[in-house]
Amino acid sequence: MTDTTDTRTPDSRPTGGLSAQYQPGDVEQSRYERWVSEGYFTADPKSDKPPFSIVIPPPNVTGSLHVGHALDHTIQDTLVRLKRMQGFEVLWLPGMDHAGIATQNVVERKLAEQQLSRHDLGREKFVEKVWEWKAESGGAILGQMRRLGDSVDWSRERFTMDEGLSRAVQTIFKRLFDDGLIYRANRIINWCPRCLTALSDIEVEHTDDEGELVSIRYGEGENSIVVATTRAETMLGDTAVAVHPDDERYKHLVGTEVELPLTGRRIPIIADEHVDPTFGTGAVKVTPAHDPNDFEIGQRHNLPSLTVMDERAVVTVPGPFEGLDRYEARPAVVAALREQGRIVAEKRPYQHSVGHCSRCKTTVEPRLSLQWFVNTTPLAKAAGDAVRDGRVRIEPEELSKRYFAWVDNMHDWCISRQLWWGHRIPVWYGPNDEVVCVGPDEEPPTGEGWRQDEDVLDTWFSSGLWPFSTLGWPEQTAELEKFYPTSVLVTGYDILFFWVARMMMFGLYAMDGKQPFDVVNLHGMVRDQFGKKMSKSFGNVVDPLDWIERYGADATRFTLARGANPGSDVPISEEWCQGSRNFCNKLWNATRFALMNGATVEGELPAPAELSAIDKWILSRLQHTVSEVNEHFDSYEYAKVCDTLYHFAWDDVCDWYVELSKPVLAQDTPEAARTRRVLGHVLDQLLRLLHPVIPFVTEELWIALTGGETVTFATWPSIDHALVDDAAEEELAALQKVVTEVRRFRSDQGLKPSQRVSAALTGLGNVGIDTHETLIRSLVRLDAPSADFTATATLAVTGGITVDLDTRGAIDVAAERARLEKDRAAAEKEAAQCRGKLGNEAFVGKAPEQVVAKIKDRLATAEADLVRIAAALEALPAA
């Protein structure tokens, strides 16, 4: 017989143009540019394919790609790439938010460098400067999205200040105004004394700050009453003291008056059920102009509202405190009260929740102010009903409770901002107190005395229209007809209450009850490997661009997706990203090996009856993998998708199938030809399955393997039930068990991988793997028993299989025993340390859940090592 073995060295065999090593930097940019230039991501609203659409949560024009964006975009890109392969007409629409406060702050800082303020320029010139900044420096994140591999339709990029989106804003404002759902009133709002504007709830960050709790006696003798406050300076604006109506301690005082210290004013003592009789003294000061709860009490009891601070939080009350900043006034007021003997108690430090401006971190001041509001009652009810009746599904479902807790108790929404950058409120005021709201197709009133409202709308107002304004509304466009409602909204659970609820309200209102999206897919926050929140002060912040530069976009994406369980926080570490890079390299090397050994996708797969048990096994495992991946995608379990694919690729394909196939592939036989076709098919399907998560490396490998144009539109793998083979899986499981046990024994005994050992294998026929004996011996370096064979160690494997080994001369028994004893001592120390920590109730009670879980895993590993080491010591031959 002619020897047809391929004698070329591996490096000289065909590799489909693949380099010896995968270098992401050589691939990613050029590959992405080709995807865009070829129009792969451009949606066609005239297509007869079923639609699938996602509108990207618009990042701020001032922003850059942080790790939260990277997670959010990875999930979205995974979904849209999956849907393209499943035959949908996909629109993933990108864009940016004008970020009113943040952008204005950026431009004002640049003006300050020139010793200028916006007031020096005037409104019109300042807005021009902002547009100039946007054109020159804004939107850096869009280029960074390309680095990550976002397959968005760049031809449809939108900006919340675009002409079309501005028209949408004016249209819905006019409709809401005409329907009586927008009004102007004096209400308590969040106010930033530095940015000099009202803030939405989402623009306020609450932290536990250190302050002081001061108890103050109002009045004299038996008619006196003690209140406690953390903001003594606001007492200058008190207009009542409130107690609970059932509090027996104060019933005799309800309806009387008490003198307010330092002011000479007399204020009433009232009863209100809002008061908690168990907190402090059970009596609270009421300052309607400087506290939201006090404002509500004031409304119920017709109390006057006295504003005692201006927009910069400076005291305006005539007297000794006038002109003092709030932080200067607070100790001054306490000192004056102390001097009068009215300080009953002082508690410092006192931890309490304090709101801060999310942009400048200034402490927010509750302030009575004339602002524009949306009456959210009917809108919020509709938003709640859409989830309750199933039009919108929240994933994971358990987070629906949080959603209902918000929309069912929503307060009216303050939508006006005291800024110059943004959508200016389309309301004009006339000389005779006329108020006219102007729609987009209407001319504003002209003539002497008419002026437009100075305020702009909350950024969340325009972004609340995002799912339909970006598709062309209020015009009836082809995009709106094809892609609305959008399919999925992917976002963090932290803005479920704010942005998601606003989009629901506006979408249902503007689109005649049609929901803005069918599914709300909520993910958690990215944390470090110990479950700790990322913070610059902790030194654990991850820059995804740094990871992309060092490990590649695919490795960064896989690391993020592999931790993404629905609604749960996502732990990541650089070590895991390195592991993801290694995974990409593993795929590269496996595909390169397959090409060098003739793997092909040409022709039909051989019939199952013609295949070896090994080929049947890997095809069966592939069917299970496809089934599991589909199931996990359907439930938005990205971590499980990645875990399933990782183990199939690394364990089943690379570690087992490739190794088991090497002896076959070394020959030019019909069996080898069938295996080459199976190997090509398995890799083809695997690369398709992985493409949504790691698009760059899979594109390179798939094109090299198949010769196709792009995997972007390659058909998503389907399940062929005829290829599910339980018998083959059982057979290979038994083979793997034997190989694994022998390898573990060799490792435990310190045998070098290349060192051959004589062994007798008995019982292989019990589990139907006797035909694989030659292969097993090749995999674990076992020679047939020689004439002087003496068994010095015996391994009993499940199924009645026995492996007798002759280790004479192969093991330095004394040295190996010493090594194992050293390992046992280290394992015992590790186990003792872990038990000590887990037995410490104080530690277990305070440590993050992930940290405790990691220590439990360490303990389990140490205990398993002790069992393994004991078995290895017992297996050592006598010295």
> Does a structural domain hold residue 613?
yes
CATH number at residue 689: 1.10.730.10
Closest CA to 674 of 616, 632, 634: 616
Phi, psi of 751 (to 5 degrees): -75, 135
Higher pLDDT, 566 or 740: 740
> Does a structural domain hold residue 628?
yes
Domain count, the chain: 3
- Return the minimum-mean-pLDDT range out of 16-25, 141-150, 156-165, 365-374: 16-25
Is the pLDDT score of 367 beyond 50?
Answer: yes
Structure token pair of residue 522: 């909520």
Per-residue model confidence as pLDDT tens digits over 661-714: 999 999 999 999 999 999 999 999 999 999 999 999 999 999 999 999 999 999
> Does a structural domain hold residue 639?
yes
Structure token pair of residue 306: 């006295």
> Does a structural domain hold residue 784?
yes
Structure token pair of residue 226: 């003690």
Domain co-membership, 660 together with 689: yes
Is the pLDDT score of 41 beyond 80?
Answer: yes
Domain co-membership, 642 together with 672: yes
Q: Omega of the bond prior to 349 within 30 degrees of 0, cis? A: yes
Closest CA to 557 of 649, 638, 653, 652: 638
> Does a structural domain hold residue 678?
yes
Q: Omega of the bond prior to 396 within 30 degrees of 0, cis? A: yes
Residues in the chain: 879
Domain co-membership, 642 together with 777: no
Phi, psi of 514 (to 5 degrees): -80, 125
Amino acid (1-letter code) at residue 864: A
Domain co-membership, 754 together with 696: no
Phi, psi of 401 (to 5 degrees): -60, -40
> Does a structural domain hold residue 750?
yes
Domain around 746: 734-875
Q: Which of 330, 348, 366 is the last residue of a domain?
A: 366
Residue 384, pLDDT score: 97
Is the pLDDT score of 8 beyond 60?
Answer: no
Distance separating alpha carbons of residues 142 and 562, to the nearest angstrom: 24
- Return the minimum-mean-pLDDT range out of 225-234, 378-387, 857-866: 857-866
- Return the minimum-mean-pLDDT range out of 496-505, 617-626, 842-851: 842-851
pLDDT band at 876 (very low <50, low <70, confident <90, very high): confident
Distance separating alpha carbons of residues 118 and 630, to the nearest angstrom: 55
Q: What number is the average pLDDT over the span 392-409?
A: 93
Give the residues across from 286 on adjacent strands.
240
Q: For helices 726-748 and 613-634, what crossing angle results, to 10°?
A: 100
Residue 2, pLDDT score: 34
Per-residue model confidence as pLDDT tens digits over 290-317: 999 999 999 999 999 999 999 999 999 9
Domain co-membership, 716 together with 748: no
- Return the minimum-mean-pLDDT range out of 19-33, 408-422, 457-471, 558-572: 558-572
Domain co-membership, 696 together with 760: no
Per-residue model confidence as pLDDT tens digits over 478-492: 999 999 999 999 998
> Does a structural domain hold residue 772?
yes
Distance separating alpha carbons of residues 255 and 309, to the nearest angstrom: 29
pLDDT band at 4 (very low <50, low <70, confident <90, very high): very low
Distance separating alpha carbons of residues 806 and 187, to the nearest angstrom: 88
> Does a structural domain hold residue 432?
no
Contacts of residue 57, defined as CB under 8 A and 6 or more positions apart, other chains included, come to 72, 489, 490, 491, 499
Instruction: Give the DSSP letter of residue 723.
Output: G
Structure token pair of residue 81: 């790439």
Domain co-membership, 863 together with 796: yes
Residue 358, pLDDT score: 85
Residue 7, pLDDT score: 42
Distance separating alpha carbons of residues 187 and 414, to the nearest angstrom: 9
Q: Which of 724, 757, 773 is the last residue of a domain?
A: 724
Q: Which of 332, 366, 400 is the last residue of a domain?
A: 366
Domain co-membership, 720 together with 591: yes
Average model confidence (pLDDT) across the chain: 92
Per-residue model confidence as pLDDT tens digits over 72-130: 999 999 999 999 999 999 999 999 999 998 899 999 999 999 999 999 999 999 999 99
Is the pLDDT score of 818 beyond 90?
Answer: no
Alpha helices in 648-749 (DSSP H): 659-665, 670-690, 695-706, 726-748
Domain co-membership, 638 together with 613: yes
Distance separating alpha carbons of residues 298 and 326, to the nearest angstrom: 23
Q: Is 536 assigned a ligand-binding role in the annotation?
A: yes
CATH number at residue 259: 3.90.740.10
Domain co-membership, 236 together with 284: yes
Distance separating alpha carbons of residues 879 and 874, to the nearest angstrom: 12
| Three-state helix/strand/coil letters over 174-217 | HHHHHCCCEEEEEEEEEEECCCCEEECHHHEEEEEEEEEEEEEE
Residue 616, pLDDT score: 98
Give the residues across from 228 on adjacent strands.
215
- Please report, rounded to a whole number, the percentage of residues in the chain having pLDDT higher than 90: 78
Q: What number is the average pLDDT over the span 758-775?
A: 93
Distance separating alpha carbons of residues 681 and 620, to the nearest angstrom: 12
Is the pLDDT score of 232 beyond 60?
Answer: yes
Distance separating alpha carbons of residues 480 and 500, to the nearest angstrom: 19
Q: What number is the average pLDDT over the span 158-168?
A: 96
Question: 637: how many CB neighbours lie within 10 A of its CB?
Answer: 20
Alpha helices in 38-162 (DSSP H): 67-85, 100-112, 118-121, 123-136, 140-148
Domain co-membership, 692 together with 580: yes
Structure token pair of residue 80: 């849209």
pLDDT band at 5 (very low <50, low <70, confident <90, very high): very low
Q: What number is the average pLDDT over the span 786-807?
A: 86
462, 98 Cβ separation under 8 angstroms: yes
Is the pLDDT score of 809 beyond 80?
Answer: no
Is the pLDDT score of 429 beyond 50?
Answer: yes
Distance separating alpha carbons of residues 673 and 16, to the nearest angstrom: 18
pLDDT band at 11 (very low <50, low <70, confident <90, very high): low
Per-residue model confidence as pLDDT tens digits over 490-543: 998 887 777 899 999 999 999 999 999 999 999 988 887 777 776 666 777 789
Domain co-membership, 663 together with 783: no
Residue 13, pLDDT score: 60
Closest CA to 370 of 432, 435, 442: 435
